[in-house]
Structure 1
Amino acid sequence: MTEPAGKEVRNSTKTKRILHILLRVLVAVVIAILLFIAIVYTVNKISSHIEQNRMEQYGQHVSVNRKRMNVFIQGQGEETVVILPGYGTAAPALDFKPLISELIPYYKVIVIEPFGYGLSDQTQKERSTANIVSEIHEVLQHLHVDRYILMGHSISGIYSLDYVNQYPNEVKAFIGLDSSVPSLSEQKIDSSEIEPIKWFRNLGFARLQLKLGADPYDGLPYDEQTKERLNILRYKNMYNTTQLNEAVSMYSNFKAAEQLTFPSNLPVLFFVQADHPVTDRWIPEHEKQIEKSVHGEMVLLEAGHYLYRSHPKEISEKIRDFTGKIK
């Protein structure tokens, strides 16, 4: 009768040994994860501090709502082109450099870096179209610029729709660089959904994500110094709170724009990617936006969404031709 009892003792001892090993493995895994997080966090903090000291200033600051908005101005042309960036563009003044270089022999070019972009401050103010448009206009008023061609990439197409209707006597023409259209709305994002992204950013994983990702400027006409500055600002601005708040407001901004159209007498020129990777409605919806325009044109390019990076010369030449006809 003692043998079964001894067997039970041996089985119990074996079970405890296995559980002890599993517990030690679990503790080791947890420690390894915490150590990895600590390394990522520390590297990000140190790198951010070093990069902050290396960052070269560019442009000039304009005070808007007691905060600084960065503006980059080049060129001496009679016509002024005001450029607005797409969502999440880390440093618009640097990102548009290939196109700016092509435009400045003929135009005065102003690149506005909205709050949360480039070297501009962040803001807690709601990222509604109304606020963004008001801030952009205040910058131009401060610069005494009251007649200009407005150019917008991606989401700035939505903001520009509101802008050209509010300030029709100031905007001479609109140029869309694969600009967003209200009928193809972004997915709704709740404010609670951005909290994990803030943790992801604050712990330094945004930097790791960028390092592991492909270089968006590889093979494009950017010099090494510009690429280095762009990377520094990508690390600085990715998933910042202002841009995340803009993402939360994006759905309602699209919905509000559904009621807007470009004024029929406003010249509109669209540069559109010929083969959109997600929707086959991209070209038709842009065609609808200019069907009632007295002077509306669309140019299809075999390019990606950031077509101004890869096709600056073609875009510049067409803009010169287009603006020459509307003087």
Structure 2
Amino acid sequence: MRKFLRVVRNIFLVLLACIILFVSGAFVYHRIKLNQEKQYLDNIPGQMVEVDGHNMHVYSEGRGDHTIVFLSGWATTSPYQDFLPMAKELSGENKVVIIEKFGYGYSDEVPGERDLDTVLENDREALQKLGIEGPYVLCPHSLGGLESISWAQKYPEEVEGIVGMDISVPGFREAYVATEKKKKLVYSGFNILCKLGIMRVLMGTPEFENEDDKIRYALEQKEGMNKNFISENSNIVESIDEILTMPLPTTPTLQFVSKQTNEISNREFPGTDWMAAHQELVDASVNGKLVELDCGHYVYKYEQDKIVSGIKEFLKTL
């Protein structure tokens, strides 16, 4: 029996040593690669503005009667890269702005809670410091929708219109309640794996087709599943509860909604209705319209032409 226990102990010690060596190697390799990848992040495309003692990246181009502000969805690696094609299409007759919140893209990862008020006030301060004045036409995707709704509620004079791209909505609160704690645990685990470099090793290095791919990969490795992402996710229900203390905004709105998100959400969360929750925003608006798109959640990638065309028509009504 003692001999058996010694064998088990030795096997355990060997496995433990292997795990320690693997984790140590992955961490060192990750740090070396991060240092090498800094070269891809040297050329900042927009402006870095100091907000609350940290650097936030804001890109803008064009000029015109309207100022369009793109706000990304949750954990988007590079809002700048994602929205740049639409910005190019719209900047001929408008000023177009892409905000990269803290923890996103080229912006710093910052300490502290990332609740709705903090995110909103940080973004407003960045625009004010850069001299980008409202009123704004907010164009949010996914989680950025909650920020836009709150913005219109608290500062209606700053928001000329809202163009939602399959945004998170207060009417879907119970679905967020059902997944909040589980997601926080999972994302915290991913955060550890990313910081240790284990995710980099497990996923391997992809083949890059162009320089933008290298930049996106460098940003993915820099950000990982960072604490700002985790904090935002943990505050979704609290954010919705804050929004629900006030009437929904009457701001003119155009809501692009994914049929696929609707089907998936309604199937996974019986008793909820993604499309109806968006219709509530449209009904509250003085000039609202809902457009269903037969594509996935990242509607601006799948249906860019339709969305750009819709935004241009929407601006004419403001």
Q: TM-score, normalising length from structure 1?
A: 0.84
Higher Cα radius of gyration: 1
| Mapped contact 1:60–1:70 kept (Cα < 8 A) | yes
| Mapped contact 2:101–2:123 kept (Cα < 8 A) | yes
Matches for 1:102-113 after TM superposition, within 5 Å: 102-113=89-100
Q: Distance in 2 between matches of 1:25 and 1:35?
A: 15
Which of 203, 207, 215 lines up with 2:196 in the alignment? 203
1:122 and 2:114 correspond = no
Q: Distance in 2 between matches of 1:192 and 1:135?
A: 23
How far residue 149 of structure 1 moved from its aligned partner, in angstroms, is 0.7
The one-letter amino acid paired with 1:325 is T
Classify the secondary structure of the residue corresponding to 2:289. strand
Matches for 1:61-76 after TM superposition, within 5 Å: 61-76=48-63
The equivalent residue for 1:313 is 305
| Mapped contact 1:95–1:230 kept (Cα < 8 A) | no
Flag the 1:301–1:209 CA change in 2: closer, same or farther, 3 A: farther
The one-letter amino acid paired with 1:315 is I
**Worse-matched range after superposition: 185-194 or 248-257:** 185-194
Q: Distance in 2 between matches of 1:263 and 1:83?
A: 19
Q: Distance in 2 between matches of 1:87 and 1:157?
A: 10
The equivalent residue for 1:269 is 254
The equivalent residue for 2:87 is 100
Flag the 1:80–1:50 CA change in 2: closer, same or farther, 3 A: same
Matches for 1:47-86 after TM superposition, within 5 Å: 47-55=33-41, 56-86=43-73
How far residue 191 of structure 1 moved from its aligned partner, in angstroms, is 11
Cα-to-partner distance string for 1:85-124 (whole Å, 9 max, x where unaligned): 1111122111222322322233221001111111112222
| Mapped contact 1:162–1:260 kept (Cα < 8 A) | no
Q: Distance in 2 between matches of 1:224 and 1:26?
A: 45
How far residue 135 of structure 1 moved from its aligned partner, in angstroms, is 1.3
Q: Distance in 2 between matches of 1:16 and 1:136?
A: 65
Percent identity of equivalent pairs:
27
Cα-to-partner distance string for 1:287-321 (whole Å, 9 max, x where unaligned): 11111322101111121111112221111011111
| Mapped contact 1:190–1:248 kept (Cα < 8 A) | no
Q: Distance in 2 between matches of 1:57 and 1:27?
A: 48
Q: Distance in 2 between matches of 1:197 and 1:226?
A: 25
Q: Distance in 1 between matches of 2:313 and 2:201?
A: 44
The equivalent residue for 2:32 is 46
1:166 and 2:154 correspond = yes
The equivalent residue for 1:147 is 135
Q: Distance in 1 between matches of 2:102 and 2:190?
A: 19
The one-letter amino acid paired with 2:169 is V
| Mapped contact 2:149–2:249 kept (Cα < 8 A) | no
Q: Distance in 2 between matches of 1:210 and 1:139?
A: 35
Cα-to-partner distance string for 1:44-86 (whole Å, 9 max, x where unaligned): 1111111113323221011212221110012233321011111
Flag the 1:178–1:45 CA change in 2: closer, same or farther, 3 A: same
Q: Distance in 2 between matches of 1:108 and 1:64?
A: 22
Flag the 1:20–1:189 CA change in 2: closer, same or farther, 3 A: closer
Which of 279, 295, 301 lines up with 1:303 in the alignment? 295
Flag the 1:18–1:65 CA change in 2: closer, same or farther, 3 A: closer
Matches for 1:251-266 after TM superposition, within 5 Å: 251-264=237-250, 266=251
The equivalent residue for 1:242 is 228
Classify the secondary structure of the residue corresponding to 2:109. coil
Flag the 1:209–1:20 CA change in 2: closer, same or farther, 3 A: closer
| Mapped contact 1:206–1:235 kept (Cα < 8 A) | no
The one-letter amino acid paired with 2:143 is I
Structure 1, unmatched stretches of 5+, are 1-14
Q: Distance in 1 between matches of 2:160 and 2:286?
A: 13
The equivalent residue for 1:184 is 172
| Mapped contact 2:166–2:256 kept (Cα < 8 A) | yes
Structure 2, unmatched stretches of 5+, are 267-272
How far residue 141 of structure 1 moved from its aligned partner, in angstroms, is 1.6
RMSD across aligned C-alpha pairs, in angstroms? Answer: 2.6
Q: Distance in 2 between matches of 1:23 and 1:292?
A: 67
| Mapped contact 2:184–2:230 kept (Cα < 8 A) | no
Q: Distance in 2 between matches of 1:183 and 1:191?
A: 20
Flag the 1:223–1:204 CA change in 2: closer, same or farther, 3 A: closer
Classify the secondary structure of the residue corresponding to 2:260. coil
Q: Distance in 1 between matches of 2:209 and 2:315?
A: 29
